Amino acid sequence: MSKQMPEKTSSTVLVVDHDPKALAHARQVLADAGFVVAGAEDGAQALERFEQLVPDIVLLSVDLPKSNAFELCSRLSHITSEANPPALVLTGLEDEASINRAFEVGATDFVVKPVNWPIISHRIRHILRARKAFHDIRAAEEKVRHLAYFDGLTGLPNRELFKEHLAQAITIARRQGWRVAALFMDLDEFKRINDILGHSAGDQLLVTVGKRLLQSIRESDRVTHGAISSDGHQAARFGGDEFTVVLAIAHEADDVAKVAQRIKNALALPVLLGEQEVFVTASIGIALYPDDGETVDTLLKNADAAMYEAKRAGKNRYRFYTQSMNAHALRRLTMESKLHKALENDEFWLSYQPQIDAKSGEIVGMEALLRWDNPELGTVSPFEFISIVENNGLIVEIGEWVLKTACAQAQAWQNAGFPRLRLGVNLSPRQLQKNRLVSMVKETLRSTGFSAQYLELELTENLLMRHLDETIEMLDMLCDMGITLSVDDFGTGYSSLNYLKRFPLTTLKIDRSFVNGIPGDADDMAITKAIIAMAHSLKLRVIAEGVEDEQQLAYLCEQGCDEFQGFFFYKPLSAQEFTHVLERQKLILGSRQRKK
């Protein structure tokens, strides 16, 4: 029979026995079994060794001098708590009372003397293995808890944990008569940074924002004179580019404003992403317990509504919740749900705004503009609902409907013998999907019979800034079909001359806000003048949007602007009204020609 080799192990066993012979024997057998063994003959020695070695397991003989094993066992179990090594009690007293006592004071198991040492070493190994498995499970549980409650990117608590923190703060505040502030923060234009600099830069930015947020909250004691406790994690990443903060405050809402301002200041410093320095701002909404709500959900909803107001008011600011915000938020929600059915319920229609040629004064084009009439909400402005359908993706389907309807209408006018006008259709960035857009446009032109040469797609500057290569490829394909492309609302985005050259563009549309400033605002006038000159040097046609009076028109003419679109000439018209206008123009042109 071959002798079994001792299992290699580095586990340390501390044997405590007052009988030197028994101790020596135990040490020998356990060492042979592969353990690192230390021995102690009394309680004091045992404690000393224990602290030195931190053994993996302790074997205690009960009949120790001075301090008996039960007492020692209970003292050992107080030294370290969670990582406490198991204690195996060796007892000669086979009575139930002493066994119970051993367990009471923290023993893991007991062995009745005389001890069969070779068997004991197996038992020790088994106990240690079970122990390790237990710790592994605990570690895994802890990891799962961390994953479930913390954001992997920033290390901040996540939405779930934040809600728990807020609920706790509310409970305490209710008892103490305190207030709690929930801050809801959303980064401004984060999407743009993500799109232009890439996702890893975006991630890096979020990490930096998380750190700055945490720091401004930790330092909030100084601005609020201790009125806000800065214990624990009160900042969280709520999701995406949304962060939340819970502040427990004793008295004044003013203190919350100071913290919000502090966060704003912390964010205002530039962030270095690779070689690129970027600036990020945030919009913050604040709701207070109990003033603005008494539950986690209400507070969050209202803080979110306040954040939305901060965005509407121009971003990079904070807003306290007010009752009227709920009306806005409610309207947004109502719109959101109604928009899902709007297409199928036939609630959309198109208006067409004429574009006038500067030289001839004739209508040379039109822009199709989407309108939404809902039985309950009435007529809703695209400024209100376009952003909603862009966010939820409905714009893709709606945009296809717009293109199809507009092309069919424009073709109908051509068929009726009216002059062949250029048709401008707005394109949302969401519609720029490689596999969908080009084939959709092709199919629309085919089914409506509308010729590509009369179609002009209006793109926003932001759209041109993202995914450059893919965008260029797609726009080139459209261009090859004979479609022309314009940049809408020019001057409001982040365009540079450089990028304009890279796209197959034909037209720039000067944003209404610049035209609006003529003739009062010298800057607006200078910008308008520069845009026209620049566009012409790039061989682009310029259309001025939002021309409302004669002075604006005169200035634009003087600068050589090519076309005009605005209330001074026409408001957006229904298809029927537009037909009347075309008929009138036809009559006038006809009589002019007859006179010649």
Which one of residues 17, 195, 292, 458 is an interface residue with Mg ion (CB under 5 A)?
A: 458
- Contact between 428 and ligand C2E by CB under 6 A: the answer reads yes
The smaller minimum CB distance to ligand C2E, of residues 250 and 575, is found at 575
Euclidean distance between CA atoms 457 and 454, whole angstroms: 10
Residues 476-515 that bind Mg ion (CB under 5 A): 488-489
The smaller minimum CB distance to ligand C2E, of residues 285 and 365, is found at 365
- Contact between 566 and ligand C2E by CB under 6 A: the answer reads yes
What string of H, E and C letters represents the secondary structure of 50-99? HHHHCCCEEEEECCCCCCCHHHHHHHHHHHCCCCCCCEEEEECCCCHHHH
- Contact between 369 and ligand C2E by CB under 6 A: the answer reads yes
Euclidean distance between CA atoms 354 and 28, whole angstroms: 102
- Contact between 456 and Mg ion by CB under 5 A: the answer reads no
369 binds, among ligand C2E, Mg ion, none (CB under 5 to 8 A by kind): ligand C2E
Phi and psi, residue 482, nearest 5°: 105, 0
Stretch that binds ligand C2E, among 56-64, 190-198, 524-532, 545-553 (CB under 6 A): 545-553
Burial of 22 per CB tally in 10 Å (0-12, 13-18, 19+) = middle
- Contact between 17 and Mg ion by CB under 5 A: the answer reads no
Euclidean distance between CA atoms 425 and 409, whole angstroms: 12
Contact pattern from residue 520 through residue 559 relative to Mg ion, giving x for each residue in contact according to CB under 5 A and a dash for the rest: -------------------------x--------------
Sheet with 318-320, side-by-side order of all strands: 235-239, 242-249, 179-187, 282-289, 318-320
Which one of residues 220, 455, 546, 563 is an interface residue with ligand C2E (CB under 6 A)?
A: 546
Task: Please tell me whether residue 421 adopts helix, strand or coil conformation.
Answer: coil
Alpha helical stretches, state H, 394-496: 395-415, 434-448, 461-465, 468-480
As measured in angstroms, the least distance from the Cβ of 532 to ligand C2E is 18
The smaller minimum CB distance to Mg ion, of residues 72 and 402, is found at 402
186 binds, among Mg ion, ligand C2E, none (CB under 5 to 8 A by kind): none
The smaller minimum CB distance to Mg ion, of residues 55 and 546, is found at 546
As measured in angstroms, the least distance from the Cβ of 568 to ligand C2E is 6
279 binds, among ligand C2E, Mg ion, none (CB under 5 to 8 A by kind): none
As measured in angstroms, the least distance from the Cβ of 548 to Mg ion is 14
548 binds, among Mg ion, ligand C2E, none (CB under 5 to 8 A by kind): ligand C2E
Contact pattern from residue 453 through residue 482 relative to ligand C2E, giving x for each residue in contact according to CB under 6 A and a dash for the rest: -----x------------------------
Euclidean distance between CA atoms 578 and 555, whole angstroms: 27
Euclidean distance between CA atoms 244 and 304, whole angstroms: 10
The two three-digit tokens of residue 280, written as one number: 């990020």
Helix (H), strand (E) at residue 371: strand 363-374
As measured in angstroms, the least distance from the Cβ of 386 to ligand C2E is 5
Euclidean distance between CA atoms 569 and 584, whole angstroms: 14
As measured in angstroms, the least distance from the Cβ of 347 to ligand C2E is 14
Which one of residues 195, 400, 456, 489 is an interface residue with ligand C2E (CB under 6 A)?
A: 489
Which one of residues 370, 407, 423, 505 is an interface residue with ligand C2E (CB under 6 A)?
A: 370
Instruction: Render 572-587 in DSSP notation, one character per residue.
Output: -B-HHHHHHHHHHHHH
How many residues contact ligand C2E, by CB under 6 A?
24
Beta carbons of 79 and 52 less than 8 angstroms apart: no
As measured in angstroms, the least distance from the Cβ of 302 to Mg ion is 34
The smaller minimum CB distance to ligand C2E, of residues 151 and 489, is found at 489
The two three-digit tokens of residue 345, written as one number: 């319920």
Euclidean distance between CA atoms 58 and 124, whole angstroms: 10
Which one of residues 103, 279, 349, 567 is an interface residue with ligand C2E (CB under 6 A)?
A: 567
The smaller minimum CB distance to ligand C2E, of residues 56 and 489, is found at 489
The smaller minimum CB distance to Mg ion, of residues 293 and 491, is found at 491
- Contact between 491 and ligand C2E by CB under 6 A: the answer reads no
Task: Select from 182, 178, 165 the least CA-distant residue to 249.
Answer: 178
As measured in angstroms, the least distance from the Cβ of 521 to Mg ion is 19
Beta bridge partners of 75: none
Residues 388-417 that bind ligand C2E (CB under 6 A): 395, 399, 402
Task: Select from 47, 85, 92, 94 the least CA-distant residue to 66.
Answer: 47
Contact pattern from residue 426 through residue 445 relative to Mg ion, giving x for each residue in contact according to CB under 5 A and a dash for the rest: x-------------------
255 binds, among ligand C2E, Mg ion, none (CB under 5 to 8 A by kind): none
Task: Select from 211, 212, 236, 383 the least CA-distant residue to 303.
Answer: 236
As measured in angstroms, the least distance from the Cβ of 456 to ligand C2E is 12
Q: Provide the sign of the torsion angle of the four alpha carbons 131, 132, 133, 136, taken in this order.
A: positive
Beta carbons of 236 and 154 less than 8 angstroms apart: no
What distance lies between CA 135 and its chain's CA centroid?
36
Euclidean distance between CA atoms 573 and 523, whole angstroms: 32
The smaller minimum CB distance to ligand C2E, of residues 86 and 399, is found at 399
Sites of contact with ligand C2E (CB under 6 A): 353, 369-370, 381-383, 386, 395, 399, 402, 426, 428, 458, 488-489, 512, 545-548, 565-567, 572
Sites of contact with Mg ion (CB under 5 A): 426, 458, 488-489, 545
